[in-house]
Amino acid sequence: MFNPPHVGHLALARAAASGLGLRRVLLTPVSIPPHKPAKWDPGAEHRLRMCRLAIDGDARLGVCTLELERPGPSYTVDTLRIIHASDPDAELTLIVGADMAQTLASWREPREILKLARLAVAEREDTSRSDVLDALTPLQADVRIEFVAMPRLDVSSSLVRRRLTAGEPIDALVGAEVADYIAKQELYGRQPAGQAGGVR
């Protein structure tokens, strides 16, 4: 969802691009998350702008707006179908964290997702490969899976939002440009430390 995008998202995108030989990696902010209501969502347009700021200057990364351009909940299978229809010869890879990979069997049309794209999973110290593979057992025959090795980064969008609420700096978690955008737009209820202003 990228609420907001942070250095962990970018590290995974870059690790996948390098480790799997991907020509381009696209961040895909959702319009309406289908599985759970978004907390402290500043809106799709703000999340899109933050994603664009986060990737600025890295030619390997881009932003896909497909899920923001269609109404209703953002289902991954629909997005993959649209991309596949526009470029049937493209080899698609869906990049997710290990926590999300463990829930894939509950997504809409998971087998179709795995027919349309290879699955790339970020390894985490607290989630083993066997944990992920066990969770995918119902889909095992259809799974094309790669694990992406990357150093552990203790950062999440919820941590960024908590630090903002506490008035703490977030530059190291999201990068200076995204932090500056959040401050200027006064997103998530409070500006970071060092910025003028306070609670909205």
Summarised one tens digit per residue, pLDDT across range 108-161 is: 999 999 999 999 999 776 777 888 999 998 887 667 899 998 877 889 999 999
Q: What is the CATH number of domain 7-188?
A: 3.40.50.620
Residues 52/27, Cβ–Cβ less than 8 Å: no
C-beta of residue 122 within 8 angstroms of C-beta of residue 95: yes
Q: Which amino acid is at 86?
A: S
What's the gap between Cα 27 and its chain centre? 6
**How high is the pLDDT of residue 183?**
93
State residue 159's pLDDT score: 94
* pLDDT score recorded for residue 195: 46
**3-state SS class at 117:** strand
For the chain, the structural domain boundaries read 7-188
Q: Whole-model pTM?
A: 0.86
Instruction: Give the per-residue pLDDT at 24.
Output: 95
- Number of neighbours of residue 159 by Cβ within 10 angstroms: 14
- Measured between alpha carbons, how far is 111 from 120 in angstroms, rounded to an integer? 15
111/180 Cα distance (integer angstroms):
41
* Residue ranges of the chain with per-residue pLDDT less than 50: 194-200
The predicted structure's pLDDT at residue 198: 33
